[in-house]
Structure 1
């Protein structure tokens, strides 16, 4: 009987070809046996190596290097399931769309999303963020109003900071009322790169 360890993750990108094939076989066997609840991979981008994670519902997490990928994986194992495995193939479509975005070839993502990590007002804010069009920005106050709570400007800032799907759910498009960028989970340089990329399109 095949079994998969409860938590299986390693972020090394220096695996040999044999190790990569073994990982792929393990991921395939785990998925076919219903033992793979969270698949993940990393993706090199202009704003650093992003961690991508998905469930059978869709993309569930995108994390920046500064958020500590190992800590994010540990959190996913606690919040969703300990049956987590590096399985890049499951995230091929997500990786391709994000690469197309950074190449200026995509302005909207067509990915199924698993939003279970956000609840209540924060979930409502995420719904408003996807309505901010590529190349445009909205103030925290405008997002608060769109989410149905005009006075909840600070709560919108918190929702953006805790957005589990940055880049794909574009919290980088939310700025202060005076036009300044405000804070960003990926850091000010990452936010600037994203806004500059979209402005240049």
Structure 2
């Protein structure tokens, strides 16, 4: 069974989906979420929050500046490289940023690996929980964010990052 719920936030409505194992997707638009679920899980979600209730609680705490890290079960689906990148992104401290190249180096990759890291970051199924908004370009510029650069700016400002 795929659980599904929505919540309003300072960055717009969030659409959440999860399995019995944990949250598997957060999206900023409903239709792409349903397409993702059909492609990756082959099912339609049930309009039932189930285990997503705690995710909503922790997201509300984050948006109220009461939470800096998330402690919810996640059902991550991706390649081993993507999961390694997502773990590294999840370790970027609240209120700080890291570049794609820095993440590649932390993973022991050099050279063109920053592009592969960028692709993995772009495939992050759990924005905010896995804080890909904290990843920036080598020159310090804000680049790419699935929810749009304006949301990236909002999230970074919420965390006290000057942008």
Q: Provide the TM-score with structure 1 as the length reference.
A: 0.75
- Write the distance in 2 (CA, Å) between the matches of 1:74 and 1:163: 15
Which residue is equivalent to 2:82?
122
Q: For 1:170 and 1:75, locate their aligned partners in 2 and report how far apart those are by CA, in whole Å.
A: 19
Q: TM-score, normalised by structure 2?
A: 0.92
In structure 2, which of residues 42, 56, 70 is the aligned counterpart of residue 109 of structure 1? 70
Shift of 1:81: 4.0
Matched, 1:44 2:5: no
Structure 1 position 92, deviation (Å): 1.1
* Whole-angstrom distance in 2 between the partners of 1:122 and 1:174: 15
Paired residues, number:
160
CA contact (8 A) 2:17 2:45 kept: no
CA RMSD of superposed structures (Å):
1.4
Alpha-carbon distance between aligned partners in 1 of 2:73 and 2:110, rounded to the nearest angstrom: 29
Unaligned runs of 5+ in 1: 1-36
**Long gaps (5+) in structure 2:** none
Measure the CA separation in 2 of the matches of 1:179 and 1:94: 31
Map of 2:98 onto structure 1 = 138
